[in-house]
Amino acid sequence: MPDAIPLHGRLVRLEPMAPAHADGLLKAAVADRTTFEYTYVPADRAAVHRYIDRALEDGELGLAVTYTLVSTADGQVVGTSRLRELEYWNAGVWPPRPGHLNPDNIPDAAQIGSTWLTPAAQRTGINTEAKLFLLQLAFDTWQVHRVSLHTDIRNQRSRRAIERLGAQYEGTRRAHFKAADGGIRDSALYSLLHHEWPAVRGCLQARLVAGETPTVSRWG
């Protein structure tokens, strides 16, 4: 499985998710739930522990690398994000299947998802910096060919934020899975390819230098 290495920035630290984050995640999750209409966010302590356990299990299986987002300003947990649906194209099986990893344990493709931020951390640049670090890990360290993103097709704010990255819209997957509101959601699918990454990286870095606080995306 790929290592979940800590990632440190000016605004946010990305710490590999651990049971010690439970109290902070719970506090961040219940502060104001009105912004979580399109993304699953655990609502009580038991759900937070299940959330962490699943993240750790997915990590052991090589399916995801999950981070807790911690504000550098005050050390408070402000949310979470992950590289998930990791694909291994040289595992000796085709099509790729969970549990079959490349010999070097490094994936060939990944998806950014399960991202949510407590309202106090939204529109602060934390989300932009966190996305920059996740993309750097995927493209620069792992050398993946592709990073995908998807969001509920109804979430226009999230779609605009993804498109501002330079991600390419690939279409709509109908009846993709159960939505956070209990219905069946259609997902808007996007992707970034390795050769597109330098331009995207430059854009994100420029936005952070300029102190821009773009519309927050809660990608699901």
- The count of C-alpha atoms lying within 13 angstroms of the C-alpha of 68, restricted to the half-sphere facing its C-beta, is 24
pLDDT at 219 over 50: no
**Domain presence at residue 219:** no
**Domain presence at residue 86:** yes
Report CA-CA distances (Å) from 150 to 129, 134, 175, 211. 19, 15, 13, 26
- β-strand pairing of 7-8 with 77-87: unpaired
Grade residue 1 by pLDDT with cuts at 50, 70 and 90. Answer: low
Q: How far apart, in whole angstroms, are the C-alpha atoms of residue 65 and residue 62?
A: 8
**Domain presence at residue 216:** no
Average pLDDT for 34-60: 94
Containing structural domain, residue 166 = 7-211
- pLDDT attached to residue 213: 45
Maximum alpha-carbon separation in the chain: 47
Report CA-CA distances (Å) from 112 to 66, 82, 84, 115. 10, 6, 6, 8
Q: Which residues share a beta bridge with 8?
A: 13
Amino acid letter at 112?
I
pLDDT tens digits along 141-198: 999 999 999 999 999 888 988 998 889 999 999 999 998 888 999 999 999 999 999 9
**Domain presence at residue 1:** no
Q: Based on the structure, what is the number of domains in the chain?
A: 1
Q: How far apart, in whole angstroms, are the C-alpha atoms of residue 158 and residue 112?
A: 13
- pLDDT attached to residue 212: 52
Q: Where are the beta strands (DSSP E) in the chain?
A: 7-8, 12-16, 65-71, 77-87, 109-117, 146-152, 168-178, 184-193
**Domain presence at residue 217:** no
What is the four-CA torsion angle of 197, 66, 179, 45, rounded to 10 degrees?
-150
**Domain presence at residue 92:** yes
Q: For residue 82, what is the domain's CATH number?
A: 3.40.630.30
**Domain presence at residue 203:** yes
- pLDDT attached to residue 214: 39
Amino acid letter at 66?
T
Q: For 131, list phi and psi in degrees, rounded to 5.
A: -65, -40
pLDDT at 217 over 70: no
**Domain presence at residue 220:** no
pLDDT tens digits along 51-91: 999 999 999 999 999 999 999 999 999 999 999 999 999 99
